[in-house]
Amino acid sequence: MEGTLLTKSNLWSYEKEWRIIEHIKGVGKYSFPPQLLTGVIIGCQMPDANKTKIINWAKNRNPKPLLYKAEVKKREFGLKIKPME
Protein backbone atom coordinates (compact mmCIF):
# COMPACT_ATOMS: atom_id res chain seq x y z
CA MET A 1 0.00 0.00 0.00
CA GLU A 2 2.76 2.46 0.89
CA GLY A 3 4.36 1.95 -2.52
CA THR A 4 1.12 2.99 -4.20
CA LEU A 5 0.92 6.16 -2.10
CA LEU A 6 4.56 7.09 -2.68
CA THR A 7 4.75 6.27 -6.39
CA LYS A 8 3.82 8.89 -8.94
CA SER A 9 3.83 8.78 -12.73
CA ASN A 10 6.64 10.73 -14.38
CA LEU A 11 3.90 12.61 -16.28
CA TRP A 12 3.16 14.46 -13.02
CA SER A 13 6.78 15.06 -11.92
CA TYR A 14 6.54 18.82 -12.62
CA GLU A 15 4.10 19.18 -9.70
CA LYS A 16 6.83 18.80 -7.05
CA GLU A 17 4.17 17.47 -4.71
CA TRP A 18 4.83 16.55 -1.09
CA ARG A 19 2.94 13.69 0.55
CA ILE A 20 2.77 13.08 4.29
CA ILE A 21 2.38 9.52 5.54
CA GLU A 22 2.13 8.92 9.28
CA HIS A 23 2.14 5.26 10.36
CA ILE A 24 1.63 5.83 14.08
CA LYS A 25 -1.11 8.46 14.26
CA GLY A 26 -2.88 7.57 11.01
CA VAL A 27 -5.36 9.81 9.20
CA GLY A 28 -5.95 13.25 10.66
CA LYS A 29 -4.79 16.84 10.83
CA TYR A 30 -1.11 17.69 11.10
CA SER A 31 0.57 20.94 12.03
CA PHE A 32 3.50 22.45 10.18
CA PRO A 33 5.05 25.93 10.03
CA PRO A 34 2.73 28.24 8.01
CA GLN A 35 5.56 29.56 5.84
CA LEU A 36 5.96 26.08 4.33
CA LEU A 37 2.56 26.36 2.62
CA THR A 38 3.42 28.48 -0.41
CA GLY A 39 0.47 27.64 -2.66
CA VAL A 40 -2.88 25.89 -2.94
CA ILE A 41 -4.20 24.30 -6.14
CA ILE A 42 -7.98 24.25 -6.50
CA GLY A 43 -9.08 21.17 -8.45
CA CYS A 44 -10.96 21.46 -11.73
CA GLN A 45 -13.98 19.54 -10.39
CA MET A 46 -14.16 21.11 -6.95
CA PRO A 47 -17.66 22.34 -6.02
CA ASP A 48 -18.03 26.15 -5.93
CA ALA A 49 -18.92 26.13 -2.23
CA ASN A 50 -15.59 24.45 -1.41
CA LYS A 51 -13.67 26.83 -3.70
CA THR A 52 -15.16 29.77 -1.82
CA LYS A 53 -14.17 28.26 1.53
CA ILE A 54 -10.58 27.73 0.40
CA ILE A 55 -10.27 31.22 -1.10
CA ASN A 56 -11.61 32.83 2.08
CA TRP A 57 -9.35 30.66 4.23
CA ALA A 58 -6.27 31.62 2.16
CA LYS A 59 -7.08 35.34 2.35
CA ASN A 60 -6.96 35.14 6.16
CA ARG A 61 -3.60 33.31 6.36
CA ASN A 62 -0.31 34.94 7.18
CA PRO A 63 1.69 34.48 5.06
CA LYS A 64 -0.94 34.18 2.33
CA PRO A 65 -0.44 31.17 0.04
CA LEU A 66 -0.69 31.74 -3.70
CA LEU A 67 -3.88 30.34 -5.24
CA TYR A 68 -3.90 28.31 -8.45
CA LYS A 69 -6.61 26.53 -10.40
CA ALA A 70 -6.32 23.26 -12.29
CA GLU A 71 -7.76 23.01 -15.80
CA VAL A 72 -7.94 19.90 -17.99
CA LYS A 73 -5.70 20.16 -21.06
CA LYS A 74 -7.79 20.02 -24.22
CA ARG A 75 -5.47 18.20 -26.62
CA GLU A 76 -3.39 15.98 -24.35
CA PHE A 77 -3.49 14.05 -21.10
CA GLY A 78 -2.85 16.26 -18.11
CA LEU A 79 -3.75 19.40 -16.24
CA LYS A 80 -2.73 23.04 -16.62
CA ILE A 81 -2.09 24.83 -13.34
CA LYS A 82 -2.82 28.54 -13.69
CA PRO A 83 -2.67 31.36 -11.14
CA MET A 84 -6.13 32.45 -9.98
CA GLU A 85 -7.14 35.96 -10.91
Residues of the chain with pLDDT under 70: 1-7, 12, 18, 20-21, 26
pTM to 2 decimal places: 0.68
For the chain, what are the domain ranges? Answer: 2-83
Q: Count of residues for the chain?
A: 85
Neighbours of 62 (CB within 10 A): 6
pLDDT, position 32: 82
> Which DSSP letter does residue 85 get?
-
pLDDT, position 4: 67
Phi, psi of 5 (to 5 degrees): -70, -30
How far lies 33's CA from each of 61, 73, 82, in Å?
Answer: 12, 33, 25
Q: In whole angstroms, what is the distance from residue 30 CA to residue 15 CA?
A: 21
